[in-house]
Amino acid sequence: MNKENKTDFKKTENLEAKQQTNIDTKETKWYIVNSKNGQEETIKDQIVARIHLFNLDRYFFDIKIITENHLQKNSKKIIKKNIYPGYIFINVIMNNKVWYVIRNTQGVIGFIGSFGKGIKPFPLSGDEVDKLLNNNSDEMNQYSKSPFKINDKVKIISGLFENEQGKILNINLKKAIAIVELNIFNRLTPTEFSFKLLQKIN
């Protein structure tokens, strides 16, 4: 943090002096931060570090990068993939100080819903939070709970691998799919199946 930025930040401190105590957690809202694509994890860590540096922890509640598990092609390795590249979700009580510190973090492009000219960004609505963060759409709610667990032994009941058996390596409840390890040509191969194609073996 250079001396100029420190000076600029101090200009905002007096504007929020009354918010030092009696924080109402009901004021917390989710916002979307637009960041440089591919650097989300690094920028997320920098935001958290700056929140601590400027002693703003009382306004800061959560920060997320929304990921899901993917099976890497030609490999048994399961990797986490960012569902919303270039976006970081942050749960804060928004005020001038918090807004200043986040938007001036290296790698942050801005806030979604902020139109400049000193106007703070608009938070996500309850429906948007459910859809984007909680995966609470009708399609995603087809299964409220997975019918399987990791390491369950299952049988394929239809399709090319009908009657083949294997062990569940990973589950994606949102997509209602499981990755099953099958013995294909004497080689253990992770293969993706819909829940509807699987039957648990007791």
CATH topology of domain 3-136: Alpha-Beta Plaits (3.30.70)
On the question of pLDDT at 201 being above 70, the answer is yes
How high is the pLDDT of residue 146?
Answer: 81
Which residues touch 138 (CB under 8 Å, ≥6 apart)? none
Distance CA 48, CA 178 (A): 34
- What residue spans define the domains of the chain? 3-136, 142-200
How high is the pLDDT of residue 14?
Answer: 42
Distance CA 104, CA 109 (A): 9
Which pTM was predicted? 0.58
Q: What are the tens digits of pLDDT across the range 155-185? A: 999 877 889 999 999 888 877 888 999 887 7
Q: What are the tens digits of pLDDT across the range 130-140? A: 777 765 444 44
CATH no. for 142-200: 2.30.30.30
On the question of pLDDT at 18 being above 50, the answer is no
Report which secondary-structure segment, H or E, holds 89: strand 87-92
Sign, Cα dihedral of 187, 190, 195, 201: positive
